[in-house]
Amino acid sequence: MGPCPQIGWATPAFAHTDELTGEGTGDDEHSWAADGARRLGFHGNSHGYDVTWATGDVIGVAADLDNRSLSFAKNGEWLEVFNGIDISLAGGLFPSITLQNGRCEVNLGAAPFKFPGPAPSYAPVTPQTRALARHRGEPGNFKGSFEGL
């Protein structure tokens, strides 16, 4: 998991980098994240998120665009962390993860989810998702494919 796992959502305006800058998902107004190691939520600044993650936990993220809210789950227990969010959907919203010295497996719907979403109406990011292999920070180490998405 690493010391600073910031997991959440971003818009295309989110300025990502492969450099170690200390900035990541949730650190600007174009992304939102939860961090269960430091127990913080991020959207430009930080606020409390009273959930602790550990190695082996299954972390879920869910976006309710109609109600303008983002929820996060630890092992199937959902908590709404952001509400009343202002998302410009002109460019979309996509899952985003920032890790420092950590690793994780990502399932965008290519396999059945281990736990259900916050409500039966929630669906995977896209029905055409493909399994992605580990990405260890360096672009050349990425072993997955975005082809066909």
State residue 81 phi and psi, 5-degree precision: -105, -35
What is the arithmetic mean of pLDDT over 139-143? Answer: 48
Give the model confidence (pLDDT) of 89-140 as tens digits. 557 788 888 887 777 888 888 788 899 999 999 888 765 554 444 444 444 5
**pLDDT tens figures, 10-54:** 888 887 665 566 678 888 888 999 999 889 898 988 888 899 999
Digit-coded pLDDT (tens) for 59-83: 999 999 888 899 999 999 999 999 9
Helices (H) and strands (E) in the chain, counts: 0, 8
Q: Which of 72, 91, 88 is nearest to 80 (CA)?
A: 72
